[in-house]
Every structure is written in C-alpha cells, then in structure tokens.
Amino acid sequence: MTLREAAPAKVNLSLHVTGRRADGYHLLDSLVVFTEMGDLVSLRPMRGLSLSITGPEAAELGAGSDNLVLRAARLMGARDLALTLDKRLPLASGIGGGSSDAAACLRLLMRETGAPCPSPAAVLALGADVPVCLDPRPARMRGIGERLNPVPPLPPLWMVLVNPRLEVPTPQVFKALGAPDNPPMPDVLPDWPDARAFLDWLALQRNDLQAPAIASAPVIATVLDALDAAPGCALARMSGSGATCFGLFANEPAAQAAARVIAEDHPGWWCVATALRAGPDQ
C-alpha cells in the first residue's frame, strides 16, 4: 500500500527583515501562504530506508543521506520504508520546496505510525521554513521561523509563479542587504473583507530581500516586469530570497492566460498558474 502527502509551495507574500541576532541569524516578519502546486511525498513498506526522486525537477537533486526528506524520516525513527519524492518545484528557488518536502514527510509518518511530532527545536533544526510548512495554511512567521501565528481569512486568489532558472544563494542575498533593522508588519493584522482590501494592504508591505536579490541577479527585475505587464495582475513581488516571483490574480482565467503568455515569451523559465491553498486538506 502506498501513502501520499502533498508538499505545497510556500510563498512569502511579504518578508520584512527586522533585525539580526548575535549568532548572525536574521529576524523576519513574513506573511506566508501555500499553493495547490507543489511536490508529492509517498511511502510504501520495504526492507531498509530508501529515497527515490522522480518528476520534472528531479535531475539536480540528490537522494543521499543529507536530503531533507531522509533527514525528516530519520528524525521520526523511520525504518523499512521506501520513500519517493515527486519533485515538481525548482530547487533553491525561494518557495520552500525542500522544507515543504521535509514537512510532508513528517506529516505522512505521523499519520502512518501514530508517532508524535518531534520537538519544535528538532523541527526547526531541519530548516527555518520547516515549522511553517508543517501546517500548510496561511500564517504569520516571525523570529527565525519559529514564531507562528494564524492570520485573518484570506480571500480566494490565484497566483502565477515564475522562476528564471537561476539559483540565487540565500547567504549572498542577506549579505547584500543594507540595514537589517527594518519595520515589521503591523502588530495586529487587519480583517480583509474582500480581495481588493487585501491587495491594497499587501501593496504597502515589502520583501526586503527583493532589491539585494535583483542586484545579484538582474533577471529577477525582468521577471517582475513580465508579471506586472500581464493583464489582471494586481501585485508582483519576489518570494523569499528568490529567484521565484509571483503575480496575484483575482481569478483562474486571468492567471492561466498570464502564465501561457509568459511561458511562450520566455520558454526557458519555469512558469505555472496555481490557486492559493486555504488549509492542508483543501
């Protein structure tokens, strides 16, 4: 019997860098959402513990012992399981692919074995984005990723994700960041009665890593311009430390049309239209 668990893409709709700890870790304040698009983790009984990687983005990803899926499985004490990762999200692209894969593995093994979730510290040690990916629904993420709070309900929206097939090393982007002490989001997030109110509010927020990422990889600005030019795009911004960018749309037809045009104009880019995910079971 094969069991499966979705590993949705994680998107930082906003990402405010609010400080830096003495150990060098940056402090963040971010509004995080998840999409219907993502990877897929599955398992079946088999002697020993193994990982196979399939899918359109599998070529550059190794299945060695340091793979986050295997690390998550070992953290759960998994034995005699064949794990498969269907890799659909680009690697090192600012949309939490590896972290979401690890979180999906944890959820899958908790459901299969009945074992409790590892401690928050152990989950955080897998990666700063793993805690928020463990419960893939909209959240406010603060600190280095360990402080999570629910957010008011978000309106239904569609998104076009675009990656120019360029890896931007996260340490390089943080190093290029000027001041690490920037204003956070408001202490209390408002209720958003509709998509227009939410988009107007979101336009006032930031991704503080966008400018330093563009300085390192100017093609990101080209991606943002392509999204901005798409009919119906309400907001274009970079996710995480890049290089994936997103455009927000009110409905599926506009998002799908934008994705088709961008993919035709830039055949070397990764481009997909997807709905926002309200919760792990949707």
Q: Which residues are catalytic?
A: 10, 129
Which of 133, 131, 47, 124 is closest to 89 using CA atoms?
133
- What does the angle CA 224 – CA 16 – CA 160 come to, to the nearest 5 degrees? 30
Q: Taking a C-beta distance cutoff of 8 angstroms, is the pair 159, 8 a contact?
A: no
CA-to-CA dists, residue 106 to 78, 91, 99, 228, angstroms:
10, 20, 11, 37
- Give the separation between CA 246 and CA 253, rounded to whole angstroms: 16
Residue with tokens 């064949």: 82
CA-to-CA dists, residue 235 to 226, 260, 271, angstroms:
12, 18, 16
| Partners of residue 50 on adjacent β-strands | 82
- Give the separation between CA 276 and CA 159, rounded to whole angstroms: 7
- Give the separation between CA 223 and CA 262, rounded to whole angstroms: 9
Which of 121, 76, 67, 74 is closest to 99 using CA atoms?
67
Cis peptide before 243 (omega within 30 of 0): yes
